[in-house]
Each structure stands twice: as C-alpha cells, then as structure tokens.
C-alpha cells in the first residue's frame, strides 16, 4: 500500500518505520525536515510514569494564581486569552473527576503499550546505544507539598508504575548530589529512560525508515483531496496520489484536519528551554521540579533546562524571558550549575484539553488516519502510536482500546 505521512517529527518518522517494516511504500512530507520542531528540542525523556493529565480535579482553582505569574508553570499571553477560551472550557470539563479518572486509565494503557513497543523497537534496530536508563527524581520542597503529591503517586501505582518515595535528604543525595537543601522529599522512578539526544534519536529512526525504502520530502502540504483512486496531496511537487494518508504534523495538524470537516480542540503549548554545554553539571538522573513546571536532563554531553506550559498558539513571537526564568530557578535549585554558554529554544507542543492524543481513522474518510496531540509526551508515546497507526492502516485491531483517543470524543 502507498502511504503518505505528513510530519517528520518523532510520531511521523516512527510511523514511517513501522509501516515500512510491514511492507508498505512510504513517503514522509515535512515543510522543515526531520526533527525540526519539538521532536528535536524536547527534554529527551520516555516519561512512561507521567500518567497524570494536566487537567486534574481542582486545577481551575490554582490556575488564576499561576496565570498571574508570567514566568509560572502555566501561562497565557494576554493577546491570546480570548482565542483560547473554548479550549479552556474543554479543559475544565476534562478536569471533572469522572473524566479525569478515565483519562488516567487511558493514559496508563497507552503508556504500557508504548513502553513495550519501545523495547521492541530498540531490540529490532539495535538502538540501545542511544538510551540512558538512569531513572528520574521528582523533587518536593517540604513535607506538605510531598504529602499533597501522594494521591498522584497512588494513581501511578494503580497503572503499574514502579517508584520509591524518599523522605530523607541523604537518600536523595545518593541519587543526585548537589541539590539545594529546600528539596527534602522525592519520588524516584527507576525505570525512567531518556534518549541521549531527541534530535539524534528521531534522525536515526528516519534513516532506518529510509534504509527500508521510505522517502522523505521537504515540502509543505497545503491540501488533501479525496479521489476515486485514493487520496491526493497538493503541494508535494510530485506524483502525490496515495492509498492512505497519516496526519502527524503535531501542532500544525489543525489546518489539515479542518479540510476534512474535523473540528478538534487542538492547542499549542509553547515549550521553552536552555541547553548548556558540556561540564555544566554532574547530572546523574533526570530531575523534575513539579511545583515549578520544569525539568533538567542530559542532552548529549550538555544539560537542558526546560518546561512550562505557555498556551499561546503558533503565531505570537516567542518570549525567551521564560527560558531565562527557568534557568535562573535551576541555578537556585542546583548551586553547582554553570549557567554560561547556553542556547535558548522555543517549540510547539500539540495539546488536547484532556492530555490524550488523537489516534484514529478520520471520521468520514477511511483513507486518512490522524495521530497528533501528544502534548509533551510525543517522544514517550511515539513507538506505541506508530504500532497503532500501522494496525489501522492494515485494518487490524490495535493492541489497546483506542476509543479514548477517538477524534469524535469532543
């Protein structure tokens, strides 16, 4: 079968590799090239323990205080506040207890499937050299904040996440020395895995897909047309008729799905980070500061400090002051961090109100498959999503129930 994949981020190239592995002829289209966006600039984590959606019960009581802090973990630029109101309403509905519990369960199923799919991918293509299996520390300031986190840890336990809760600074220092004394408690997830570099990982997958015959074309797709023979792409600059189309263009997917008559509450989390050069810190595990909305991870020989959620769409100018604010916090939390020589970055994460991606055959067009909206979990869920996409192309029932990820759930 001739399959086109729109999007050369980690979801798109993973899908291309899975499809070529099943004998399909695949062409990947992207306006900028492989790993040009968030797939190249993220924290590099397979965050399989992150089953808790952003929309938690009671979050709307916390959000106003966060929004008043322009450098806080959740921010909406004033120029975008009116436009995002419908998404915020859907976000509020997703935070209601029943919807929240269903989202945790669905996320847990996709995480379990994705973790197993990653191991299959690593074994098949000998990719272990690109992984760091060093675990992750979630750090808390004081007993009160730690106790407030315990229900979330129980949610993780219920979906099979392994962890150790640490209540002594000596235990924490054994895993990661040099933290500020304010961090008195932690949760450690030993099975947490990172890539050495997300851009390198995504390019490696693209190369493996090309080795199996996939083509990667740098071109912006402007239109999708259904024909009697299949589906036609306009803007590819070549013969562009395909049997199946995969829309995996991340935050840019919305313009394409609208052409299919599909209206989805897809928004853009603008993520910021600073990547520091070699020698910045003796970092031994992935660090998460949940109360401040950012992480610190090893990327190549350097250190990346990034995170936060800025709901600001695709068109507003980046506000790199957010990256600077994250770095300043990291310096306070990690006194030995050398903050000089950093490179700032901003990228677009595709975000759905319930933190669940859309993975489905497009309603009304069985030749089109949609796969986007993974938020900050695109790398994490890429291998599992790729297997589901390949199953949908082949007309095979996926390994997990994809009803929670249907395009029609909104």
* Residue 386 pLDDT exceeds 60: yes
* Residue 106 pLDDT exceeds 60: yes
Of 158-167, 227-236, 270-279, the least confident: 227-236
Residues 5-41: tens digit of each pLDDT: 999 999 999 999 999 999 999 999 999 999 999 999 9
**Residue 59 vs residue 407, higher pLDDT:** 407
**Strand partners for 294:** 289, 307
Biggest distance spanned by C-alpha atoms of the chain: 67
Average per-residue pLDDT for the chain: 94
Residues 192-250: tens digit of each pLDDT: 999 999 999 999 999 999 999 999 999 999 889 888 778 888 875 555 889 999 999 99
Q: What whole-number distance in Å separates Cα of residue 121 and Cα of residue 204?
A: 12
With cut-offs at 50, 70 and 90, classify the pLDDT of residue 63: low
pLDDT of amino acid 314: 94
Q: Which domains does the chain have, with CATH numbers?
A: 2-409 (3.50.50.60)
* Residue 347 pLDDT exceeds 70: yes
Tally of CB atoms within 10 A around 343: 13
pTM for the model: 0.95
Residues 129-160: tens digit of each pLDDT: 999 999 999 999 999 999 999 999 999 999 89
Q: Please, is 300 exposed, middle or buried when counting C-beta atoms within 10 Å of its C-beta (0-12, 13-18, 19+)?
A: middle
């Amino acid at each position: 079968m001739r399959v086109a994949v729109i999007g050369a981020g980690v979801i798109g190239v993973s899908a291309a590799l899975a499809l070529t592995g099943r004998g399909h002829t695949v062409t990947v289209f992207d306006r900028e090239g492989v790993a040009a966006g968030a797939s190249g600039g993220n924290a590099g984590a397979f965050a399989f323990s992150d089953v808790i959606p952003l929309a938690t019960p009671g979050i709307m009581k916390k959000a106003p205080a966060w929004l008043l802090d322009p450098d806080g973990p959740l921010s909406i630029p004033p120029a975008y506040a009116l436009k995002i109101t419908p998404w915020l309403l859907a976000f509020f509905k997703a935070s209601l207890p029943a919807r929240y519990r269903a989202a945790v369960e669905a996320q847990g199923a996709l995480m379990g499937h994705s973790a197993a799919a990653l191991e299959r991918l690593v074994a098949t293509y000998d990719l272990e050299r690109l992984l760091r299996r060093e675990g992750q520390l979630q750090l808390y300031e004081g007993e009160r904040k730690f106790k407030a986190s315990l229900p979330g840890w129980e949610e993780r336990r219920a979906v099979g996440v392994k962890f150790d809760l640490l209540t002594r600074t000596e235990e924490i220092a054994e895993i990661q020395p040099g933290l500020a004394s304010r961090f008195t408690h932690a949760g450690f997830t030993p099975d947490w895995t990172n890539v050495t570099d997300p851009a390198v990982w995504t390019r490696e997958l693209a190369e493996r897909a090309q080795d199996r015959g996939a083509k990667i074309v740098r071109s912006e797709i402007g239109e999708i047309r259904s024909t009697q023979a299949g589906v036609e792409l306009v803007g590819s600059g070549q013969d562009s008729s395909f049997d199946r189309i995969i829309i995996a263009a991340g935050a840019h997917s919305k313009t394409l799905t609208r052409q299919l008559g599909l209206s989805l509450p897809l928004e853009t989390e603008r993520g910021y980070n600073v990547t520091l050069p070699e020698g910045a810190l003796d970092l031994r595990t992935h660090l998460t500061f949940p109360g401040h909305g950012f992480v610190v991870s090893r990327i190549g020989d350097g250190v990346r400090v990034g995170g936060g959620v800025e709901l600001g769409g695709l068109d507003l100018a980046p506000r790199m002051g957010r990256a600077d604010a994250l770095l300043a916090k990291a310096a306070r939390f990690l006194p030995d961090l050398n903050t000089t020589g950093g490179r700032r970055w901003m990228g677009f994460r595709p975000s759905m109100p319930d933190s669940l991606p859309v993975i489905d055959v497009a309603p009304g067009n069985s030749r089109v498959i949609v796969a986007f909206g993974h938020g900050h979990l695109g790398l994490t869920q890429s291998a599992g999503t790729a297997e589901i996409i390949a199953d949908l192309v082949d007309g095979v029932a996926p390994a997990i129930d994809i009803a929670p990820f249907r395009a029609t759930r909104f």
